[in-house]
């Protein structure tokens, strides 16, 4: 069977989603999981867009070995040179150049003629080719461009050395049949098309990104650009997990495969959700909390008799563990370690010991410790591993006849414990003010959300916050059975990220 190349752009288009901001270490962590997932090409970022993005792309290029590492560049010499500078240490580097092609963009935005665009595209691909043999070109807004002009651009850039030509539905305007016709038209009208891979890049403004991508591969495209959880500019991109599982589940229809290890999908989804702070909706295909849950009696009856009656995929095939044993306060280190491994976590001894201690504390408070509890607990452990300030202690006093008061104790970078207290409009406000007195970094809280990880009064509460400092947004998460403690941890998490970025900038 033919293979479809999976090009993941979570770290580039995905990060363009409003409110998503990832630090360089966050990006590296996601890139490593994408490599484990078996992604063929990782678009690591857009180096020219900011020094932070340049640094992240460079870091990923050095560390990732089996996937191709791609950097996006505008079609100008400085951006192409800068993209190469960022990825030149990669084992498999790719430069991806884009330039608008539609008359709408040319007239209103670029104020350039079609001939000028064609010439720039050709020249910049040739320039990138001087650096690496792997060059991709995207005529932006291709789905709203006259097909005959797209054919001319593609022929020119392939002649100049492009090895992949990508056809973006930049504004999510296309309808499957129409987009498929465009792809088929490209195969029939670009004389040198056999020298390049045809790629597709669809946005989800009409909820058609996955449908358009699948129709395109049915018509011969062999690279799909997509993101984990479908995050991306505006309504997002085609979702990686949906594309991959559609190809796998309906191989009888597509007769195609991918290199993806689908059992790593769930872990990738959780990681991206955790680090971007974007919650996955419960009914999201493949990885939503309800994707494999059966509520109706008839469905439950069928699944008990034979899963295939109402399940077209085995949840284990996407890495959702089928838990056989329930963990509780009598569970020992061995059972805990085994469950961690089933969930895909391998912790070093120190981290394991700390996680086990937290698990035991949790098991004392909760009758049953679920997989989601364990994931939340491990995420908490990972967050605290790289802290500048650590929350050692928090206490609040509040009520309807009381001025909310908080006392906190933090352990600072020099290992010394510092305590302080403050009043607030509510207990969380008081905690944040007390922390501010110690850390002393001005910022503004822009978002605060709390949700429970599982059902029940004893559930872990997860708090997600965003703070803004110097125009940059930092996400923080915290989890605990006490939501004030979870709020304090989330604030510490966001502050620690802010401090890490400030330190890196200084250096």
The one of Zn ion, ligand KIV, none whose footprint includes residue 138, by CB under 5 to 8 A per kind, is ligand KIV
Site size for ligand KIV (CB under 6 A): 9
Nearer to Zn ion, 8 or 13 (CB): 13
Contact 266, 288 (CB under 8 A): no
Mapping DSSP to helix (H, G, I), strand (E, B) and coil, where does residue 58 land?
helix
Applying CB under 6 A, which of residues 10, 102, 132, 138 lies at the interface with ligand KIV? 138
* Contact flag: residue 227 with ligand KIV (CB under 6 A): no
User: What sign has the CA pseudo-torsion 417, 419, 425, 427?
Assistant: positive
From CA 269, how far away is CA 289, in angstroms rounded?
12
Residue 98 binds: one of Zn ion, ligand KIV, none (C-beta under 5 to 8 A by kind) = ligand KIV
Using CB under 5 A, which of the segments 5-13, 319-327, 356-364, 377-385 binds Zn ion? 5-13
C-alpha 112/C-alpha 118 separation (Å) is 10
CA distance 30 to 28: 5
Closest residue to ligand KIV, Cβ-based?
A: 168
Task: Give the CA count within 13 Å in the CB-facing half-sphere of 326.
Answer: 7
Are the C-beta atoms of 51 and 32 separated by less than 8 Å?
no
With respect to ligand KIV, which residue has the nearer C-beta, 203 or 383?
A: 203
Scanning 6-14, 42-50, 248-256, 346-354 for contacts with Zn ion by CB under 5 A, the matching segment is 6-14
Q: What separation in angstroms does the CA of 116 have from each of 102, 113, 119, 433, 467?
A: 13, 5, 5, 56, 43
Q: Is 339 in the site for ligand KIV (CB under 6 A)?
A: no
Q: With binding defined as CB under 5 A, does residue 13 bind Zn ion? A: yes
Helices within 103-208 (DSSP H only): 103-105, 114-129, 147-160, 176-189
- Binding part of the chain for ligand KIV, among 47-55, 166-174, 268-276, 409-417 by CB under 6 A, reads 166-174
Stretch that binds ligand KIV, among 165-173, 370-378, 384-392, 423-431 (CB under 6 A): 165-173
Rounded to whole angstroms, the Cα distance separating 474 from 35 reads 25
Q: Which range in 55-63, 78-86, 163-171, 471-479 contacts ligand KIV by CB under 6 A?
A: 163-171
User: Which is closer to ligand KIV, CB of 201 or CB of 366?
Assistant: 201
Residues 6+ apart with CB under 8 A from 435: 391, 408, 410, 488, 491, 492, 495
Kindly state whether residue 140 participates in binding ligand KIV, applying the rule CB under 6 A. yes
Work out what residue 389 binds among Zn ion, ligand KIV, none; the CB cut-off runs from 5 to 8 Å by kind: none
Q: Which one among 74, 152, 201, 267 touches ligand KIV, defined by CB under 6 A?
A: 201
Site for ligand KIV in 93-122 (CB under 6 A): 98
- Asked if 13 interacts with ligand KIV (CB under 6 A), we say yes
**Are 169 and 179 within 8 A, CB to CB?**
yes
Residue 168 in the binding site for ligand KIV (CB under 6 A): yes
Q: Applying CB under 5 A, does 136 fall inside the site for Zn ion?
A: no
Pairwise CA distance, residues 455 & 291, whole Å:
17
Binding residues (CB under 5 A) for Zn ion: these are 13
Binding residues (CB under 6 A) for ligand KIV: these are 13, 98, 138, 140, 166, 168, 170, 201, 203
């Amino acid at each position: 069977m033919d293979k479809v190349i999976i090009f993941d752009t979570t770290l580039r288009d995905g990060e363009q989603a409003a409110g998503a901001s990832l630090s360089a270490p966050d990006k590296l962590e996601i890139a490593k999981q994408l490599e484990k997932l078996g992604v063929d090409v990782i678009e690591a970022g857009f180096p020219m867009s900011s020094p932070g993005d340049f640094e992240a792309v460079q870091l990923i290029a050095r560390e990732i070995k089996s996937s191709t590492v791609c950097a996006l560049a505008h079609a100008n010499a400085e951006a192409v040179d800068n993209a190469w500078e960022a990825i030149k240490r990669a084992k498999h580097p790719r430069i991806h150049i884009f330039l608008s092609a539609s008359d709408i963009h040319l007239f209103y935005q670029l104020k350039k003629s079609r001939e000028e665009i064609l010439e720039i595209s050709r020249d910049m691909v040739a320039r990138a080719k001087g650096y690496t043999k792997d060059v991709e070109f995207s005529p932006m807004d291709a789905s709203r461009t006259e097909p005959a002009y797209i054919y001319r651009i593609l022929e020119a850039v392939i002649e100049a050395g492009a090895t992949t030509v990508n056809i973006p539905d930049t504004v999510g305007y296309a309808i499957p049949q129409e987009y498929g016709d465009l792809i088929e038209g490209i195969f029939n009208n670009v004389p040198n098309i056999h020298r390049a891979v045809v790629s597709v890049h669809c946005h989800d403004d009409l909820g058609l990104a996955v449908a358009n991508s699948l129709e395109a591969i049915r018509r011969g495209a062999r690279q799909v650009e997509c993101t984990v959880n479908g995050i991306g500019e505006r309504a997002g991109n085609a979702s990686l997990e949906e594309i991959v599982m559609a190809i796998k589940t309906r191989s009888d229809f597509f007769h195609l495969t991918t290199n993806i290890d689908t059992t790593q999908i769930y872990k990738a989804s959780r990681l991206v959700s955790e680090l971007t702070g974007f919650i996955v909706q419960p009914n999201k295909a493949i990885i939503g909390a309800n994707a494999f849950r059966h509520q109706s009696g008839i469905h439950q009856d069928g699944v008990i008799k034979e899963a295939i009656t109402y399940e077209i995929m085995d949840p284990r095939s996407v890495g959702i563990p089928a838990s056989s044993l329930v963990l509780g306060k009598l569970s020992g280190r061995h059972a805990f370690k085994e469950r961690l491994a089933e969930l895909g976590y391998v912790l070093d001894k120190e981290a394991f010991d700390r996680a086990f201690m937290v698990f035991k504390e949790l098991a004392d408070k909760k009758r049953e410790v679920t997989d989601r509890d364990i994931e939340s607990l491990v995420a908490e452990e990972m967050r605290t591993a790289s802290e500048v300030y650590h929350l050692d202690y928090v206490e609040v006093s509040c009520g309807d006849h009381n001025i909310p008061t908080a006392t906190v104790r933090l352990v600072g970078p020099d290992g010394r414990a510092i305590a302080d207290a403050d009043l607030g409009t509510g207990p969380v406000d008081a905690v944040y003010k007390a922390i501010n007195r110690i850390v002393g970094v001005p910022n503004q809280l822009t978002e605060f959300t709390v949700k429970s990880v599982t059902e029940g009064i004893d559930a872990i509460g997860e708090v997600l916050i965003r703070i803004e400092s110097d125009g940059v947004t930092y996400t923080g998460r915290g989890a605990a059975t006490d939501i004030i403690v979870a709020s304090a941890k989330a604030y510490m998490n966001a502050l620690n990220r802010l401090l890490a970025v400030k330190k890196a900038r200084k250096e």
